[in-house]
Amino acid sequence: MKPLTSAINYLAGQLRQVGLFIALIVIVVFFQITTGGITLAPINVSNLVVQNSYILILAVGMVMVIIAGHIDLSVGSVVAFIGAVAGVMIGKWHMPWLLAIVLCLVLGALVGAWQGFWIAYFGIPAFIVTLAGMLAFRGAAEIVLGNEQISFFPKGFRAIGSGFLPTFGSTGYEPLTMVLGLLTALAILVLSLRQRVVRRRYELEDEPLWWFVVKLVFMVALVLIVTVLLASYDGTPIVLIILGLLVVGYTVVMSRTVFGRHIYAIGGNLAAAHLSGIKTQRVTFLLFINMGVISAIAGLVFTAGLNLASPSAGDGFELDAISAVFIGGAAVTGGIGTVPGAIVGGLIIGVLNNGMSILGIDSDVQQLIKGLVLLAAVAFDVYNKRRSTGR
Amino acid sequence: MTDTILEMRSIYKEFPGVKALQDVSISVERGSVHAICGENGAGKSTLMKVLSGVYPHGSFEGDILLDGEPVEFRSIGDSEGAGIAIIHQELALSPYLSIAENIYLGNEKQRAGFIDWNATNLEAAKLLQQVGLQENPITKIADIGVGKQQLVEIAKALSKDVKLLILDEPTAALNDSDSEHLLDLIRSLRDQGMTAIIISHKLNEIKAIADRVTILRDGHTIETLEMGDRDASEDRIIKGMVGRDVDHRFPDHASHIGGELLRVENWTVHHPLDRERKVVDDANIVVNEGEIVGIAGLMGAGRTELAMSLFGRSYGTNISGRVYKRGVPISVSTVPKAIANGIAYSTEDRKKYGLNLIDTIQRNISIAALDKLVSWFAFVSEAKERIVADGYRRTMNIKAPGVGVLTGKLSGGNQQKVVLSKWMYSDPDVLILDEPTRGIDVGAKYEIYTIIDRLADQGKGVIVISSELPELLGICDRIYTLSAGRITANVPRAEATAEHLMQFMTKEREKTRA
C-alpha cells in the first residue's frame, strides 16, 4: 500500500477523534474571522477559560457517569445549592473561607451519596433520581438563601473563580505563566515520548509515527499559543489550574485504574460486569459521590467567579455538560467516552457561546444552533458506527 | 379415513454452515394431536418456523399443503390468516395489559375506529370459559401465573378461528397441576375437532395426549409412530431421539481424579418471581480434583439456574444449602466471594452475560482479575495486561490480528475462547461451563474440548452443562442428570449411554421419590 493511502485509511479509522479536533479548529477560525480577530484576542481567551470552566469541570464528572450508562440531571441545581451554602457560611456566618470550601466539598459528597444510594442500591433509574434531585436541590438552594442573594465574598475566595496566579514583571509576557506553559509543553513532550517508547517495547502501539508527531506538535503548539495569549493579558487564571488538575487526574483514573476499568465494564455490559465479580452497586454509588464532589467544585468556582450566591445559579448547566459529553463522542448506551473528548466537546460549546455572543446573535438563535450542533455530532457518531459495522 | 389437514413434504432449510432440516416430511390428520419430539437442536422449532411463515416461502425448499392445497406463507400474518396459530415457549403477552386486551391485541374489536370495550370483554369472557380459565377479562396479565397465561395464549389463538394450533414446549415452565390442566384442555379441544401439533420432549406427556408422534434427529425425520401401536414404546422413542453415532469428535483423554474438591449439599433455589416454585430442589453434587463432571437436563430442568445460583446467587430467591471446598464450608453469596473462593462460571449466553462487546479482547480477558495487574497503587499495568492477553491469544488459539480487537467482531468460537481465557486468568479451582460449545462450529468445538481436558489435567474440577448428550458422553468422567430441578441420577462414564441418561432426564418427580 502506498504511504498516502495507508495514511488516509488510518485517519478514516480515527475519524471521530480527528473530526472532533477539526471541528474545534474550524469553529475557532470561523469566529476569529467573523469577529474581526476578537475571538483569539488575549482578553477573550482569558474570558473563555474562566467563563466555561464550570461547564468543563462538570463535564469531567458527567462523562464518567455517562460511560457507566447513567445520567445526572441534578448538577445545575447542586451548583446552586452548594453556592448558596457557601454564601451563607462565608457571607452570613463569616466562617473562614477555606473551612467553608472543605465543608462544601463534604456536602457535595453527601448529595452524591444520597442520589447514589437510590440509584445503586434501590435500583431507581438515574434519570428519575437526578430529575428529582434537580427539583429538590433547586428548592433547597432557595430555602438556604431565603429568597435573597449573597454577595461581597472575601478576596481569597473570589480568587478561585476569577483570580489569576500572582504576576511578576509589568510589561509584555508575564513570566510565571510563560514558565508554567513551557513546563506543561515539556511535560506533554516527555510523557508522550516515554509512553510511546514503553508501549512500543510491549508491542502495544499501533499508531504510526507520523500521526504521533502530528498529534504531539498540535498539542504542544496549542499549549504554547494559549500560554502566550494568557501571558500577554493577566496571566494564568486559577480555575485553569483547578481544571487542569481535574482533567489530568480523571483521565488517569479512567484510563489506568481498576476503578476506571470497572466503570467502562459496567457501561459496556452491566450483566457481564456483575458476573465478572465487579461490585457494580458500589462502583455506581462511588461514581455519584464523585459527581457530587465535582458539582460542589463547580458550584464553588461559579459562586466565587460571579461573587454572588443566587438561587438561580447554574440553571441549565446540566444540559451544557451533557451536550459536551455527547459531542465529545460518548455513547448514549454507555461504555464509550473519554475525559479529553468531553473537554473538547465542552470547548466547542464554549467557543460557540462566546463567538455568537460577540457577534450579537440573539440568545434564542444561539440555543437553536447549539441544539443542531449536538444533533449533528451524535448523528455523525451513529453514521460512523453503522459504516464501520456494515463493512 | 385419512383426512389430512397438513402435509409438509421434503423440507430442506439451511443456515450458513448448518443444514437445519434435511428432507423432513410430516403429515398431520385432522382432529388429532400430533407430537413432534427430538433433542434440543434437532430441528423442531425450525420446522415450526417454516410452517408458520417466520421463514418466508422461498427461504427453504419443499412444499406445504394445507387442506390439500399448496400454500406459500410470506409472514406470520399469512399463516394466521390460513388458520394456523403458534404458541411459543416464551409467551408473547404484554404484562400490563388486561387479559381481554391481550386476546384481541392486533386484532381489536372496534366500532368506527374506537375500541368496543363491551364486545372485547364479553367475547373474551366466552373464550376464557372455553379454555376453562376462571378469571375476569380485565385482570392484568402480570397478576396471573404462567399456567394461566398459557391458557390466555390459547384463548387468543381461538379468537382467530384457528384450525391448527401449534404449541412449542407448552408445559416447560408449568408446574404439575397446571400442566395437567393444559393437557386436558388440548384433549377437549381435539374432541371438538381442533388439530394440534405439540412440540415436546417429555415422554409421559406425549404418551398422555398424542395420537401420533414424529421423531426428529439432526434435521432428519426418523419415523412417525401411532401411539396406539404396541411398538411405540418409550424406549423406541428415546432411541430415535438420541440414536446417533458418537464418532471421533472428542480428544482422547484420561482423567487423573484426585480428592474431593467441591461438595454442594441440599441446594434448593426458588424462582425469582414465582416464589413458591422450586427451580432447583435439594440438589447434591460432588466434584473431585481433575474431574470433568457433566450436568445433563432438558430445557427448563434447572441447569443454568443451578449453576448461576451457585455463582454468587446470580439467580433465584430463597436459596438454601451448603457449599464445601476441600471439606471446608465456603460462602458463595456474592459473585466476588464465589470468585475469591475459586469458582468461575462461564455463561451459556456469552453476548448477553459474558462479554463487553464494545471493548477489546485484552480488556475482556483481564476484567475478572484486574487486581493481579496492579503494579502500584491502583494503576493497571497495560504492558503486563498485554503480555497476559497475548499469551492467551496464542495458547487458546484466538483467531484475531491482535488483542486490541473488539470482542464484538469475533466469531462465536473465538468469543467463547475469550470468555474461557478470562476465567482461566482468574485461576479458579472449579469451573462451571454452561453450554461451552453452543453456536460454535465443529472445529472450534474440538479445541474447546481440548481446553477442558487441559484444565482437568491441571487438577481443576470442571462442571460442564450441555444440551448435547453425545458431548457429555464424549468428555465427562461422570454425569448428573437433572429433571424438574432434581438430581435424578449420578452416572459414571463407563455406565452411561444416551438412552439411559434420557430416561433419567425425562423422569418424573414421583418416580424419583419412590
What is the pLDDT averaged over residues A43-71? Answer: 93
Residues B238 and B196 in one domain: yes
Cα distance between residue A332 and residue A66, in whole Å: 7
Instruction: Give the closest of A203, A204, A258 to B374, CB-based.
Output: A258
Q: What is the pLDDT of residue B35?
A: 93
Q: Pick the residue with more confidence: B388 or B77?
A: B388
- What is the per-residue pLDDT across B262-271, written as a single tens digit (0 to 9) for each? 999 999 999 8
User: Could you tell me which residues of chain B have a Cβ less than 8 Å from any Cβ in chain A?
Assistant: 311-312, 314, 335-336, 338-339, 345, 347, 352-359, 363, 366-368, 370-371, 374, 378-380, 382-383, 386-387, 390, 402, 404, 422, 426
Cβ contact A275–B380 (<8 Å): no
In three-state secondary structure terms, B324 is: strand
Cβ contact A203–B336 (<8 Å): no
List chain B residues with CB under 8 Å of A275: 311-312, 314, 335, 345, 347, 353-354
Which residue is associated with the grid cell 464518567? A64
Q: Is residue B497 part of a domain?
A: yes
Cβ-based neighbours of A96, under 8 Å, separated by 6 or more: none
Distance in Å, alpha carbon of A276 to nearest chain B alpha carbon: 5
Residues B39 and B77 in one domain: yes
pLDDT at B441 over 70: no
Domain count within chain B: 3
Distance in Å, alpha carbon of B159 to nearest chain A alpha carbon: 39
Q: What is the pLDDT of residue A361?
A: 92
List chain A residues with CB under 8 Å of B336: 277-279
Q: What is the pLDDT of residue B20?
A: 82
Residues B67 and B154 in one domain: yes
Cβ contact A258–B338 (<8 Å): no
What is the pLDDT averaged over residues A23-35? Answer: 91
- Which of B362, B367, B394 to probe the A interface (max A CBs under 10 A)? B367
The dihedral through the CA atoms of B504, B507, B509, B514 has a sign that is negative
Residues B184 and B82 in one domain: yes
Exposure string over B70-103, b if 16+ CB within 10 A, otherwise e: ebebeebebbbebbbbbbbeeeebeeeebbbbbb
Q: Is residue B167 part of a domain?
A: yes
Residues B373 and B450 in one domain: no
Cα distance between residue B31 and residue B326, in whole Å: 59
Residues B270 and B310 in one domain: yes
Cβ-based neighbours of A271, under 8 Å, separated by 6 or more: B352, B353
pLDDT at A332 over 90: no
Question: Mean of the per-residue pLDDT values for chain B?
Answer: 87
List chain A residues with CB under 8 Å of B432: none
Q: A202-211, B92-101, B320-329: which has the minimum mean pLDDT?
A: A202-211
CA angle A265/A266/A267 to nearest 5° reads 95
For residue B34, name the pLDDT band (cuts at 50, 70, 90): very high
Q: What is the pLDDT of residue A390?
A: 42
Cα distance between residue A248 and residue A260, in whole Å: 14
Question: Alpha carbon of B271 to those of B154, B174, B320: distances in Å?
Answer: 24, 12, 13
Q: What is the pLDDT of residue B110?
A: 85
Cβ-based neighbours of B242, under 8 Å, separated by 6 or more: B39, B217, B469, B470, B498, B499, B502
Cα distance between residue B14 and residue A201, in whole Å: 48
Q: Which of residues 200-229 of A touch B (CB under 8 A)?
A: 201-204, 206
pLDDT at B1 over 80: no
Domain termination site, one of B185, B216, B242? B242
Percentage of chain B surpassing pLDDT 70? Answer: 95
CATH number at residue B189: 3.40.50.300
Domain termination site, one of B211, B242, B273? B242
List chain B residues with CB under 8 Å of A259: 378
Distance in Å, alpha carbon of A59 to nearest chain B alpha carbon: 22
Residues B382 and B324 in one domain: no
Q: Which of A122-131, A158-167, B312-321 has the highest mean pLDDT?
A: A122-131
Cβ contact A258–B371 (<8 Å): yes
Percentage of chain A surpassing pLDDT 70? Answer: 96
What is the pLDDT averaged over residues B36-42? Answer: 78
What is the pLDDT averaged over residues B80-99? Answer: 86
List chain B residues with CB under 8 Å of A258: 370-371, 374, 378, 380
Residue B311 structural domain: 247-342+428-514
Q: Is residue B347 part of a domain?
A: no
Residues B290 and B147 in one domain: no
Percentage of chain A surpassing pLDDT 90? Answer: 62
pLDDT at B246 over 70: no
Q: How far apart are the two ends of chain A, measured CA to CA in Å? A: 20
Residues B506 and B422 in one domain: no
Cα distance between residue B456 and residue B289, in whole Å: 8
Instruction: Give the closest of A258, A276, A335 to B380, CB-based.
Output: A258
Which neighbouring-strand residues pair with B66?
A: B6, B69
Q: What is the pLDDT of residue B142?
A: 86
Per-residue cell: B89: 415457549
Residues B198 and B96 in one domain: yes
pLDDT at A212 over 80: yes
ipTM exceeding 0.90? Answer: no
Instruction: Please say whether the beta carbons of B491 and B479 come within 8 A.
Output: yes
For residue A103, name the pLDDT band (cuts at 50, 70, 90): very high
Residues B163 and B55 in one domain: yes
Cβ contact A274–B314 (<8 Å): yes
Question: Alpha carbon of A3 to those of A209, A218, B243, B256: distances in Å?
Answer: 12, 21, 60, 57
- Rg (C-alpha) for chain A, rounded Å, is 21
Domain termination site, one of B194, B227, B242? B242
Which residue is associated with the grid cell 472575601? A154
List chain A residues with CB under 8 Å of B355: 269, 272
Q: B137-151, B246-260, B265-279: which has the minimum mean pLDDT?
A: B246-260
What is the pLDDT averaged over residues A207-227? Answer: 88
Instruction: Give the closest of A206, A258, A268 to B378, CB-based.
Output: A258
Any CB–CB contact under 8 A between A32 and chain B?
Answer: no
CA atoms within 13 A on the CB side of B41: 15
The length of chain A in residues reads: 391
Residues B211 and B307 in one domain: no
- What is the per-residue pLDDT across A276-302, written as a single tens digit (0 to 9) for each? 999 999 999 999 999 999 999 999 999
